[in-house]
Structure 1
Amino acid sequence: MQGSSTKAETKRFADWIETAADAIDRGEEPSSNILPQLAEAGYPAIGVPAALGGSGGDVVDAVNAIADVASHSLASAFVLWSQRAYIQFLLDSQNQGLRERLLSNLLAGRLAGATGLSNAMKFLGGLEPLQISATGSDTLTLNGKMPWVTNLRPEGFHVAGAVDHDDGRVLVVSFAHDDPGMTRTEDLALMGMRSANTAALAINDVQIGDDRIISTNAREWLPKSRPAFAGLQCGMSIGLAKRALSEAKACAGAGRGVLGEPLAQLSRQLDDAHARLAAGLRSQAFVTDASSLFELRIELADIVAQAVQLELQASGGRAYLEEPGRAFARRWREAAFIPIITPSIVQLRTALQQRRDAA
């Protein structure tokens, strides 16, 4: 479905994903099901202007949508983050033709959108060089790799990547699944989140024209797009932490009342971080103050770790029984994934330290 969703469709999706979450994590649910289910419930359209086929709202509404999905399945939220981040790149691009060609299929889930810009975000922070090179003018010839990209649906995808041109420019371009010279590996053998279509890409003499350029000046464009990129990532932490805290509160009955105050305190901290994220995104403060955004991402990762620890304490031995503890075990693995989502917590801490040293 494109545009908006009804309460019935949202409820149907919640019922489906709650049942399918463990199978998605183990790779037993067909990965081809996830994006169509998300689209039918209207999630990719949230925060997209109605005039462009979306349901309206802003990027904060998209963050909240990702959080909603993450409360059921982090793998599915990771797919939605990738889809919605790529959509946001098109919304931020001056390439109207590319947006017009792709957007309706992206909103409807017929085409997957992926972001290979994690390397570019690390490049901005001086953490690593760009991994794709470009030559040529009217037609670009591209070579390089993307070692870890999610939502590379074999049924069809576009993926954004930053490329280092030999004339000194840094561009952001959109690669397509059927570009000659583009090779997709088999899905990576992840410990969880196996149905998220996560793979690597090799780019060998891929040729694209100006119609595929998202930005001709990535050094200016990327800092403006970074808040949405990282802010949407934060939605995954928010949703997972809220679910773990909810489960912990439900379990913290007789004999575990001592957990009441830590749970209440962490819930308040999560709400405060969520509010600060929303305020910074809406005011565009993070465009010039990236450090505050990095600190929020780190804080939310810490909150997730504390939330699942409290869920474990509240559940007790029940968490280690295979059937009663199955969903907790999945959330535990999901929480372990949060710190390594690129840019990772270590990379963010490194970037913050570099900024402090340079000040």
Structure 2
Amino acid sequence: MADPRCDGWLTEAADALDTGATLCEDLLPRLAAAGLPAVGVPQARGGAGGTVIDALEALSEVASHSLAAAFVLWGHRTYIEYLLQSPNLALADALLPDLLTGTQAGATGLSNAMKHLAGMEPLQVTAVTDGTALKVNGALPWVTNLRPQGFHVAAAVDGPDGVPFVASFAGTDGGVSRSDDLELIGLRGTNTAAITLADVRLPAGRIIAVNAREWLPRVRPAFAGLQCGMSIGLARRALAEARDAGGAGRGILAQPLSETTQRLEAAQSALFAGLRSRAFEADVAPLFEIRIALAEVVAEAVALELQALGGKAYLAGPGRGFARRSREAAFIPVITPSLVQLKTALAKRREQAA
């Protein structure tokens, strides 16, 4: 990671970030002080340079310490990516400085839009015009990194002309309401809540993309690719813990550990190749398949860690890290779009092709 001090803090804070909200206020500023949101952001835009693959690697490293921290970084960095790929340069120039320093939080409310794009569900936010401005209504039931200290959230809106667009809403906008944090079984330090939009007046300067159907396929690889970084980092850590725990009677695990590691590396290589070539913009199916494969690798990796630890995994002291990783692994299949939704979308594509 950019700053090794963040590495040490995440190791110490990982359990607290998973089980409670006491460190919510500290998390994003710590990540920003380590330079993590700036990875993959062009230097001309105030970032550290590099590509989205560099950002994915940084996110994977964070996930190897804390999935809660990686989940926050994913939401924040993905929102930044929306601004980088938006033709609305004025909006990006206005928001990027505070986002890169962690003064303001960025949140991606486009999970509904990504599912809509894949034909899974209708848009949940709509706009009407009163002749002078757009008025937006709807709800985003699950959004991460909604820091009470200040946030901006992206959402896809079904326009009055039937053309969906993508816009940014601030937590201070009239009509924007944030719920209390959701009662999650883990990842509780992520400022995850619901958003309600009630007659929010939307100025033209807040529009990220005027045509969501044309724009979303270009940003979906970054959205899902960075999401995959959470699986990569968690799987790497679980496999490393399993190898380190190997002792008498554990040699039988050497082959499955090697095979699972190879599957992880193959999925990661395919992900990086697709992002570099931009092939996922034209055909998203391989990206969905990689996301599914990585989730399966995470499940295998955590199961191998359990077998390598044996009874120690069930003791509160030595098993604490494993207990957290098992909860983290349970979240991977349900990150939106969930594995069930991805598999359903892929099955539908195969039926249509047939």
Structure 2-normalised TM-score? 0.98
Counterpart contact for 2:21–2:190, Cα < 8 Å:
no
- Encode CA deviations 1:92-150: one digit per residue, 9 max, x unaligned: 00000000000011011001000000000000111100000001265210000000000
1:14 to 1, 4, 7: 7
Correspondence 1:174 to 2:164: no
Amino acid at match of 1:54: G
Unmatched tracts of structure 1, length 5 or more: none
Which of 311, 316, 324 is 1:322 aligned to?
316
Q: Deviations over 1:21-53 (max 9, x none)?
A: 001111153201100000000100000001111
Equivalent residues, number = 352
Which residue matches 2:189?
A: 195
2:44 aligned counterpart, secondary structure: helix
SS of 1:47's partner is coil
1:204-260 Cα offsets, whole Å, 9 max, x none, are 000110100000000100011100000000000000000000000000122100101
Cα separation, 1, equivalents of 2:162 and 2:19: 44
Taking a change above 3 Å as real, the CA distance of residues 28 and 201 of structure 1, as seen in their structure-2 partners, is: closer
Report matched runs for 1:84-95 at 5 Å. Answer: 84-95=77-88
Alignment equivalent of 1:114, drawn from 107, 124, 127: 107
Equivalence for 2:243: 249
Give the TM-score normalised by structure 1. 0.97
State the partner residue of 1:129: 122
- The change in CA–CA distance for 1:28 and 1:211 in structure 2 (over 3 A counts) is closer
* Alpha-carbon distance between aligned partners in 2 of 1:327 and 1:49, rounded to the nearest angstrom: 36
**CA–CA distance in 1 between the matches of 2:287 and 2:7?**
30
Distance 1:138 1:122 in 2: 31
Note the C-alpha offset of 1:166: 2.1
- The answer to whether structure 1 residue 63 and structure 2 residue 52 are counterparts is no
For the aligned residues, what is the CA RMSD? Answer: 0.9
Aligned sequence identity (%)? 59
Aligned match of 2:69: 76
Q: Is the 8 A contact 1:151 1:197 kept in 2?
A: yes
**Which of residues 285, 288, 291 in structure 2 aligns to 1:291?**
285
Residues of 1 paired with 2:265 and 2:44: CA distance?
Answer: 32
Q: Which moved more, 1:131-140 or 1:71-80?
A: 131-140
Hey, what's the Cα distance between the residues in 1 that align with 2:121 and 2:163? 17
**Counterpart Cα distance in 2 of 1:224 and 1:49:** 18
Residue equivalent to 2:96:
103
> What is the alpha-carbon distance in structure 2 between the residues aligned to residue 294 and residue 157 of structure 1?
29
Aligned to 1:39: 32
Amino acid in the other structure paired with 1:223: P
- How far apart are the structure 1 equivalents of 2:303 and 2:210? 45
**Contact 2:125–2:138 (CA under 8 A) maintained in structure 1:** yes
